[in-house]
Amino acid sequence: MSSPRVLVLRAAGVNCEVETVHAWELAGASAQVVHINALRENPRQLLDYQILTIPGGFSYGDDVSAGKILANQMEVFLGDQLRAFAERDCLILGICNGFQVLCKTSLLHGGNGSDDLPAATITANVSGKYEDRWVRLRRASENCIFLQRAAVYELPVAHGEGRVMACSDQKMNRLAELGCVAMQYTSRNGASVAYPDNPNGSMMDVAGLCDPSGRIFGLMPHPERFIHETQHPEWTSRDTAQADGRAIFESAVAHFV
């Protein structure tokens, strides 16, 4: 099969689309930025792509709540087309603000709040401030297609609202049972995770969620910011030369090879 085609969605306030396109192209995909208005005018162009990516930034200034306005546009104007896209053997990736968008749609982990697939949301960091740091993460589910190339990752986070929450511990445990808790914050020494290893106070140290199929994935860290080995602050002394973020994009591309 030829290289998978990736639609990188753009809207006012999104600011990571260029880096995201570069990451996909390094991984072997063909990526194109498409504005939400252009997609609304011609939703059928989704049929030309195998991967949809919602990149990071501050869509519409996060004026209502993080990702809410873009999520509403997707649900109201593109809901049927997006659900049809998700039902095909296609992939959807939401990064940081894109993860916030996914959590406010019905695409990810049953965002309609059904008993079978509890809904989660993302709210303000417990620290009450913007967190910009490198974190260590572990793969928590074998389901996620984006996390097949490694079990441990180091990636940067940069967000003010990154705390993943469900309405109860029982609901979050249910997501874990279904394989929807895809990625968790961890520490280098394996000790219990606390701030700043968990930079936002997420329940169950959740850094990323996927749907039960593993084809729809949202995460707070920015994989597109670690696609070259030298981008890591400790690149000269790391045990591995792997660019952990690039591995996430490569894993997705491999799904279509």
CATH number of the structural domain spanning residue 53: 3.40.50.880
For the stretch 138-172, pLDDT in tens is 999 999 999 999 999 999 999 999 999 999 999 99
Structural domain span for residue 104: 5-254
pLDDT of residue 190 exceeding 70, the answer is no
Q: Of all helices (H) and strands (E), which one includes residue 218?
A: strand 216-219
Q: What distance in Å separates the CA atoms of residue 107 and residue 7, rounded to the nearest whole number?
A: 16
Q: What distance in Å separates the CA atoms of residue 141 and residue 147, rounded to the nearest whole number?
A: 9
Catalytic site positions: 96, 222, 224
pLDDT attached to residue 239: 83
Q: Is 34 helix (H, G, I), strand (E, B) or coil?
A: strand
Q: Are 198 and 205 in contact (CB under 8 A)?
A: yes
Q: How crowded is residue 73: how many other Cβ atoms within 10 Å of its Cβ?
A: 20
pLDDT attached to residue 188: 84
Per cent of the chain over pLDDT 70 is: 95
Sign of the alpha-carbon torsion through 38, 44, 49, 50? positive
Calculate helix-pair angle for 17-26, 244-254, nearest 10 degrees.
60
The pTM of the full predicted model, rounded to 2 decimals, is 0.95
pLDDT attached to residue 127: 97
Q: Please give the DSSP secondary-structure letter assigned to residue 2.
A: P
Nearest CA to 1 out of 41, 29, 40, 43 is that of: 29
In this structure, the strands spanning 5-10 and 51-54 are: parallel
For the stretch 112-148, pLDDT in tens is 444 457 789 999 999 999 999 999 999 999 999 999 9
In the numeric block, which tokens belong to residue 90? 């296609």
Number of independent structural domains in the chain = 1
For the stretch 25-81, pLDDT in tens is 999 999 999 999 999 999 999 999 999 999 999 999 999 899 999 999 999 999 999
Q: Is 196 helix (H, G, I), strand (E, B) or coil?
A: coil
Nearest CA to 136 out of 196, 209, 214 is that of: 196
Rg (the chain; Cα; Å): 17
